C-alpha cells in the first residue's frame, strides 16, 4: 500500500510513513468554542474526518485526537457580550459544534480533549521550557523566546527577519523580541485563572495544542492537521515548543493543511464578517449535499461557496440516490446488501467483476493525495454505465442483472466509504406497505380517470419526501433528500 499526500513542512508529496506500522496517530486543531462555526471551518473538519475514514478503509488503525480550545481571550469577550460565564459560553458552543458536525455526518474524533482539563500538564511544559532557557517569565506572564529556537520558521518557510518585516507583530513591554509569544498570561481582574509558579493566569493557545497532542499521542506522532491559516503562527509555535521540550525531532512526522473556503474569491473569515454558518447551510440543504460539496474539491484547494455550487452538489447527489433507488427496484432481492465492513488493505487486488475496476480506480485516486475530484468522477462514471443496465435488468436479462449487481455493490462501497448513506434506504416494512397502499389507491384513481385525486396523492407523497416515478415496468418510489424550506 502506498498512500501519498502533500506534506506541508516538506512542501512536497510524500508517502505515508507511520511511526508504528499499521497505525496512524493524528491530531487536528479543533474549534475555539466561542461562536458558531462557519462552513469554511466545517469543511476542514469534514475533510480530516474523511481522511481518517480513508485510512481505516485502507486497513490502518487510526487514533484521532481533536481539541476544544475552551480558554481564550475571545471566550472571555464573548461571555461579557452575552452577559454570561465563560463556562456557559464554552458549553453552549461545544454542543453547537457537535450538533453541526453530526448534521454533516462527521464521526467524532476518538479523543475530544478540552484545554481546561490539561492545565497542569501545560504548566509543567512551560516550566520545562524555562528550565531549558527558551522561555522567560516577566510580571506574571511567560514568553517563548523565538531567538532561542534556531529552526524557528521551518514550517512556514520564513526567517525571523522576514517575519519581523512582513507581519503585524505585537510589541509588548515584557517581550525580548517582538515575535516572542505568550505561553502563560497573567489573569486580569475577573478572568478565569489557574494557579501557577508565576501567579494566577491561563495558558496561551499554542501551548494548549502541543501539550494535548503529545499527551495523547506521544512525540513524533504521524499527522498534525488543521486549516492552512494556522500554519503561522500557531503550528510554527507548536513545533518550537514541542521540539525544544522533547530533545527529539520531529514533534510531528507529517503536517497537513486544508485550504480555506472563499466567498466570491475573498477568504471567509469571522473578522471580515462574510461568513456563512455551517448550520445555515444544513438548514437549507440536506447535510449529505453539504458534505458532497465540501468533499468534491481537493482538500488543499480553496473552495468557493455559492448557491450555484451547492445546487450543483445537490444535483450530483440526486443522480446517485436516483441510481441507487432504480437499482434496488430493478434487482429486488438480488440487490447486494450494504457493506457491513469497509476494509481494503490490499486495494482492489483479488476483486473480480465489472465493479472491481471502479474500486481500483477509486483507490488509486484517493491514494494520490486524496484526489477526491477524481474519486467522485469515478463514481459518476460507474453510475452512467450502470444506468444503461437498469431497464434490461428489470426485464430479467441475466447478464444485465449480474453487471448491475456488481456495479451497485461497488457503488455502495465507495459512497459508504465517503460517508453517504442516502437517507433511510431501508425504510421500515410498515412504511413500505403504506406507500405501496397509497400507490395502489393512485393507480385505481387513474384507471377511473380521477386524475385530480391521483395527482393529489402524488403531491402529498412528494411533500413528505417520497418521490414517485412511473416507468414501463411500474411505479417506482424512493425517499428523497428534498431541500428544506428556508426560514
Ligand atoms: Zn491547535
What is the reported pLDDT for 348?
87
Residue 93 CA to ligand 1 centre (angstroms): 17
Q: Alpha-carbon distance 134 to 10, whole Å?
A: 25
Encode pLDDT of 311-360 as tens digits: 999 999 999 999 999 999 899 999 998 887 789 999 888 888 999 999 99
Whether 486 is in a domain gets the answer no
What is the reported pLDDT for 273?
72
Whether 484 is in a domain gets the answer no
Residue 101 CA to ligand 1 centre (angstroms): 18
Structural domain of 453: 429-479
Shared domain check, 64 and 172: yes
User: Is the model's pLDDT at 487 over the cut of 60?
Assistant: no
Shared domain check, 106 and 78: yes
Shared domain check, 459 and 361: no
What is the reported pLDDT for 483?
52
Residue 468 CA to ligand 1 centre (angstroms): 48
Encode pLDDT of 12-51 as tens digits: 999 999 999 999 999 999 999 999 999 999 999 999 999 9
Shared domain check, 78 and 35: yes
User: Is the model's pLDDT at 10 over the cut of 50?
Assistant: yes
Residue 48 CA to ligand 1 centre (angstroms): 14
Shared domain check, 335 and 277: no
462 confidence band (pLDDT: 50, 70, 90): confident
**What residues are paired with 226 via a beta bridge?**
257
Of 182 and 160, the one with more pLDDT: 182
Shared domain check, 399 and 350: yes
Whether 410 is in a domain gets the answer yes
Count of beta carbons in the 10 Å neighbourhood of residue 251: 23
Number of domains in the chain: 3
Residue 305 CA to ligand 1 centre (angstroms): 25
What is the reported pLDDT for 482?
54
Residue 295 CA to ligand 1 centre (angstroms): 22
Q: Alpha-carbon distance 48 to 294, whole Å?
A: 11
For residue 373, give the CATH number of its domain. Answer: 1.20.120.640
Whether 18 is in a domain gets the answer yes
Shared domain check, 241 and 105: yes
Nearest alpha carbon to residue 41 among 166, 321, 172, 228 = 228
Of 198 and 485, the one with more pLDDT: 198
Residue 234 CA to ligand 1 centre (angstroms): 7
Of 161 and 95, the one with more pLDDT: 95
Residue 236 CA to ligand 1 centre (angstroms): 10
424 confidence band (pLDDT: 50, 70, 90): low
Burial of residue 427 (CB within 10 Å: 0-12, 13-18, 19+) is middle
Whether 265 is in a domain gets the answer yes
Cβ(323)–Cβ(386) below 8 Å: yes
Do the strands 181-186 and 201-203 form a parallel or antiparallel pair, or are they unpaired?
A: antiparallel
The pLDDT of 120-136, averaged and rounded, is 98
Q: Mark which of 388, 417, 446 sits at the end of a domain.
A: 417
Q: Alpha-carbon distance 411 to 382, whole Å?
A: 7
**What residues are paired with 64 via a beta bridge?**
26
Amino acid at each position: 500500500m502506498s498512500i501519498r499526500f502533500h506534506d506541508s513542512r516538506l512542501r512536497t508529496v510524500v508517502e505515508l510513513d507511520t511511526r508504528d506500522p499499521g497505525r496512524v496517530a493524528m491530531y487536528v486543531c479543533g474549534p475555539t468554542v466561542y461562536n458558531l462555526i462557519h462552513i469554511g471551518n466545517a469543511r476542514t473538519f469534514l475533510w480530516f474526518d474523511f481522511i481518517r475514514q480513508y485510512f481505516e478503509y485502507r486497513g490502518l488503525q487510526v487514533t484521532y485526537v481533536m481539541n476544544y480550545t475552551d480558554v481564550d481571550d475571545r471566550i472571555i469577550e464573548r461571555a461579557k457580550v452575552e452577559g454570561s460565564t465563560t463556562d456557559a459560553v464554552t458549553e453552549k458552543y461545544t454542543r453547537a459544534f457537535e450538533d453541526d458536525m453530526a448534521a454533516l455526518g462527521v464521526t467524532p474524533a476518538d479523543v475530544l480533549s478540552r484545554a481546561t482539563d490539561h492545565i497542569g500538564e501545560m504548566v509543567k511544559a512551560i516550566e520545562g521550557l524555562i528550565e531549558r532557557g527558551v522561555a522567560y517569565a516577566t510580571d506574571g506572564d511567560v514568553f517563548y523566546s523565538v531567538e532561542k529556537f534556531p529552526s524557528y520558521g521551518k514550517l512556514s518557510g520564513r526567517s525571523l527577519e522576514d517575519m519581523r518585516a512582513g507581519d503585524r507583530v505585537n510589541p509588548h513591554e515584557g517581550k525580548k523580541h517582538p515575535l516572542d509569544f505568550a505561553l502563560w498570561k497573567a489573569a486580569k481582574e475577573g478572568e478565569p485563572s489557574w494557579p501557577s509558579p508565576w501567579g494566577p493566569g491561563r495558558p496561551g493557545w499554542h501551548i494548549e495544542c502541543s501539550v494535548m497532542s503529545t499527551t495523547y499521542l506521544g512525540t513524533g506522532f504521524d499527522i498534525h492537521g488543521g486549516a492552512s491559516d494556522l500554519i503561522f503562527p500557531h503550528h510554527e509555535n507548536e513545533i518550537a515548543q514541542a521540539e525544544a521540550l522533547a530533545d527529539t525531532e520531529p514533534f510531528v512526522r507529517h503536517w497537513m493543511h486544508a485550504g480555506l473556503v472563499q466567498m466570491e474569491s475573498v477568504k471567509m473569515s469571522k473578522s471580515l464578517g462574510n461568513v456563512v454558518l455551517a448550520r445555515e447551510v444544513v438548514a437549507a440543504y440536506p447535510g449529505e449535499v453539504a458534505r458532497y460539496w465540501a468533499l468534491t474539491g481537493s482538500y488543499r484547494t480553496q473552495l468557493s461557496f455559492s448557491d450555484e455550487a451547492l445546487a450543483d452538489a445537490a444535483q450530483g447527489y440526486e443522480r446517485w440516490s436516483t441510481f441507487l433507488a432504480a437499482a434496488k427496484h430493478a434487482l429486488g432481492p438480488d440487490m447486494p446488501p450494504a457493506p457491513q465492513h469497509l476494509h481494503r488493505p490490499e486495494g482492489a487486488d483479488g476483486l473480480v467483476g465489472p465493479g472491481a475496476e471502479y474500486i481500483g480506480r477509486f483507490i488509486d485516486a484517493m491514494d494520490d493525495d486524496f484526489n477526491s475530484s477524481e474519486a467522485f468522477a469515478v463514481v459518476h462514471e460507474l453510475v452512467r454505465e450502470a444506468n444503461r443496465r437498469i431497464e434490461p435488468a428489470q426485464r430479467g436479462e441475466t447478464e444485465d442483472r449480474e453487471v448491475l449487481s456488481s456495479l451497485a455493490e461497488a457503488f455502495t462501497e465507495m459512497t459508504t466509504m465517503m460517508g453517504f448513506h442516502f437517507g433511510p434506504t431501508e425504510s421500515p416494512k410498515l412504511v413500505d406497505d403504506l406507500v405501496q397502499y397509497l400507490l395502489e389507491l393512485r393507480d385505481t384513481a387513474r384507471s377511473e380517470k380521477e386524475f385530480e385525486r391521483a395527482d393529489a396523492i402524488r403531491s402529498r407523497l412528494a411533500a413528505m419526501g417520497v418521490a414517485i416515478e412511473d416507468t414501463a415496468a411500474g411505479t417506482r418510489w424512493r425517499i428523497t433528500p428534498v431541500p428544506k424550506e428556508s426560514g
